[in-house]
Structure 1
């Protein structure tokens, strides 16, 4: 999971735990996100778009190249996502647990 706000990360971790998911790592900066995207062994990723003035788009590019699914989380809606990445699912903040469950379910079915 990529999230620079600790409180949000803790909330999402709880929601994912309720869905039977395990967080294997937390990145809180664009650089950490890119590093994890290159090396982490994961089923999918949740990427906060805005990371203290930077974005998670480079990490998304790496994940896409590795064929690892990801979901963006943003307070800006789809318009906050780079145009060529808008085919990825986008969850709005604050995150609705039902929407998160649907996004995770869709990833698991693919």
Structure 2
């Protein structure tokens, strides 16, 4: 059964690019969210659950990807793969406490994203 992936990214073109990449690789994309409230609502409504979230650090409307990842992990045990251009040491340390599957910097390659997602499938 393919992994069910949620994309949490406020830049629409990047979200669509990620979705195309994931679909081409055989993953199921359960939906996209651009901020924390949308991500929570999506997780609540997806039947069958979400296996992993691809998470930007800086989200729309002032919401934070690390806080969003924390909420998803605490409530549904959904791990996150952080994909961001803002991966300084402080941000990494904050994110690390929620046991992400990894960190990929922007701009990213398809290989980086897909190889990180392989860890969830194992």
Which TM-score bucket, shorter chain as reference?
0.7 to 0.9
Paired residues in the alignment total 109
| SS across alignment from 2:82 | strand
Secondary structure of residue in 2 paired with 1:50: coil
1:45 CA drift (Å): 0.8
Greater than 4 Å deviation, 4+ residue runs: none
Provide the residue aligned with 1:12 in structure 2. Answer: 18
Unaligned runs of 5+ in 1: none
Q: Quick check: 1:79 aligned with 2:89?
A: yes
Question: Unpaired segments of 5 or more residues in structure 2?
Answer: 1-6
Which runs of structure 2 are paired with 1:4-43 in the superposition (5 Å)? 4-40=10-46, 41-43=49-51
Partner of residue 113, structure 2: 100
Aligned-pair Cα RMSD in Å: 1.9
1:101, CA displacement in angstroms? 1.2
C-alpha displacement of 1:35: 2.9
Instruction: Provide the rounded CA distance (Å) in 2 between the counterparts of 1:47 and 1:30.
Output: 10
User: TM-score, normalising length from structure 2?
Assistant: 0.77
